[in-house]
Chain A
């Protein structure tokens, strides 16, 4: 193109000729003649080696334990995202002693214990093994823990339920690795050690390792970020986050567990009878409505809503059904599940509110705005997974486990949209 383009030369000549007239800018370009968007008049920004999110876009909420710089958690802003994949920069983080500075070229993964051929793999060697990709959510067992308390907590969905995120992970499956080292038949446990300063060790019964368990090297296509365990982490689809050890340094095949702090002291749930549930590794079936959401008023109140949407997931299978209620739990009807629900991955559900029962009617149909009018409406979602597990009502969960548990909360969560559009969390059994 450029000056060799005859059409462009003709245009330039015409511009020069017009330059004698009124309304010309300094460069001889007509101005003010038409009301055009500024972005049509100004060449845009250049390239960057690594893109950045939109200005003012969603960010995580963080809580750091006093006296530390990197111990605590950050929450995925579920209420500001859509779809099913969490952007890498918004994946939740829970670190017990900060993010270690590991040099990838000095890093080694030891695979030893009850194996025929112990291995020490550097990153290149690990990357040289056959890899697999799969979507999987990771949920911290402490997600939603504030809801064990009697009063509904008025915080945005992401700040309550955002210790869960979903990515496509790529890495070397444990099956591949175990074949290489030759796991002996006496092995019953996999002991995983992290290289952070938290004393991170977990004991995993071999028989309960999920299909697709892998040493992940990539997240959503890019090499693991430091905060997600670079150079390598365990990804165990469907298991609680703490088991999916980041900054993996050693895998030991053993005939006995460690019963580490992360096996027994933390991530166990005190029950009303004084016992504690332990090795609650598999994440229960769960769903949350992300739109409407606490902290973001609905314009026009309930009559202004068109769609209710949210996320559902289960560690024990894939989501087969999400029901939504628009009348505080009296009637439930099926939401539409987007795409093909996958094992241990997010499923996005959508439920037509404005259809007044015509969108995707269940047995009773959604009780839409034409019936509910402007009054406050109570919305909740309830998921069912392929293992037949149904997300429990809050009252049932509390009845079974009391208020002393801290982790593994997966009960139905409800919101109320007031006439003026404000959204609050409520407990349906109130």
Chain B
């Protein structure tokens, strides 16, 4: 978020006091209907495959990454159509955050932090782009399109050659420059340094 103080937008008291929809008088007996809703209690049990609706998590170490191959040139087209309006034509930022910035030196007063600085590992970036981007059409990118966009973003950042396809294997080979730049405050000592936590 940018500075909220500069973006004051206050509701009118009227709007703020507009309550939830009025409930029909019959709902004075809402406690009764409420109880009946809960009557399915204890009707639980193991339901395998319950995650079918949601794609599996994509972990820091790449587990869960879908198959596919990204081509930066195709990603460039998608980027111009759906991303550049907010992130800038070259990922320099705009209404939304910059995607291309410094790789390592983050000690200046206001360092440019893009993908290279902010993402210690890349697999969850796939998940985020696919689920949340673009904000006006989240979830609209299929696996192939997401791989293409990632290939372009990583090429923009100099993290992956633009003329080489990107897939799960090559994604995991990319050494993120700021991988060691995060200090975990609340992760218990036993988990620090374990596997995927850089």
Contact = CB atoms under 8 A, between A and B. Distances in A.
A50 interface: yes
A110 to B, nearest CB: 4
A277 B183 contact: yes
Contacts of B193: none
Contacts of B161: none
A59 B22 contact: no
A367 B132 CA distance: 54
A204 to B, nearest CB: 9
B1 A72 contact: yes
B185 interface: yes
A101 interface: no
B191 interface: yes
Interface residues of A, number: 88
Contact of B3 (A112, A123, A146): A146
Given A59-B13, A108-B53, A191-B57, A142 B47 contact: no
A60 B15 CA distance: 11
Interface string B76-113: 00000000001000000001000000001111011101
A273 B107 contact: yes
A422 to B, nearest CB: 19
A127 B133 CA distance: 34
B86 to A, nearest CB: 7
B190 A207 contact: yes
A256 B195 contact: yes
The residue among A73, A124, A280 with the most chain B CB atoms within 10 A of its own CB is A124
Given A53-B17, A257-B196, A65 B9 contact: no
Interface string B161-198: 00000000000000000100111111110110011110
A55 B7 CA distance: 25
B5 A146 contact: yes
A274 B196 contact: no
B28 A259 contact: no
B41 interface: yes
Contact of B42 (A50, A128, A159): A128
A41 B77 CA distance: 73
Nearest to A281: B186
A402 B191 CA distance: 28
Contacts of A273: 107
A57 B17 contact: yes
A278 B185 contact: yes
B118 interface: yes
Given A68-B135, A97-B135, A125 B50 contact: no
Contacts of B111: 270, 274, 404
Contacts of A49: 22-25, 27-28
A162 B113 CA distance: 28
A60 to B, nearest CB: 7
A55 B13 contact: yes
The residue among B24, B60, B124, B190 with the most chain A CB atoms within 10 A of its own CB is B124
A275 interface: yes
Contacts of A270: 106, 111, 113
Interface stretch (A3-11, A194-202, A379-387): A194-202
A52 B17 contact: yes
B139 A197 contact: yes
A119 interface: yes
Contacts of B19: 50-52, 89
Interface residues of B, number: 83
Interface string A50-94: 111101110111111111100111010000000000000100000
A254 B43 CA distance: 26
Contacts of B57: 191, 193, 201, 252, 254, 258
A188 interface: yes
Nearest to B129: A199
Contacts of B186: 205, 208, 279-282
B183 A275 contact: yes
Contacts of A155: 5
B32 interface: no
A73 B8 CA distance: 11
Given A256-B59, A256-B61, A278-B182, A61 B128 contact: no
Given A146-B3, A273-B107, A117 B54 contact: no
Contacts of A102: none
A260 interface: yes
B16 A59 contact: yes
A121 interface: yes
Interface string A250-265: 1010111111110111
Contacts of A42: none
A156 B66 CA distance: 48
B182 A205 contact: no
Contacts of B24: 49
B13 A63 contact: no
B57 to A, nearest CB: 5
Contacts of A121: 44
Given A62-B11, A67-B86, A125 B184 contact: no
A352 to B, nearest CB: 33
Contacts of A280: 185-186
11 contacts: A50-B23, A59-B16, A61-B10, A97-B135, A125-B44, A193-B54, A250-B54, A255-B195, A256-B61, A259-B121, A403-B109
For the complex of A and B, list the 9 residue pairs with the smallest distance between their C-beta atoms, beginning with the closest: A128-B41, A199-B132, A124-B40, A120-B50, A199-B131, A49-B23, A274-B106, A59-B16, A120-B47
Given A112-B50, A128-B40, A197-B139, 11 more contacts: A53-B17, A155-B5, A191-B57, A207-B190, A249-B54, A255-B195, A259-B121, A275-B106, A279-B185, A282-B186, A404-B109
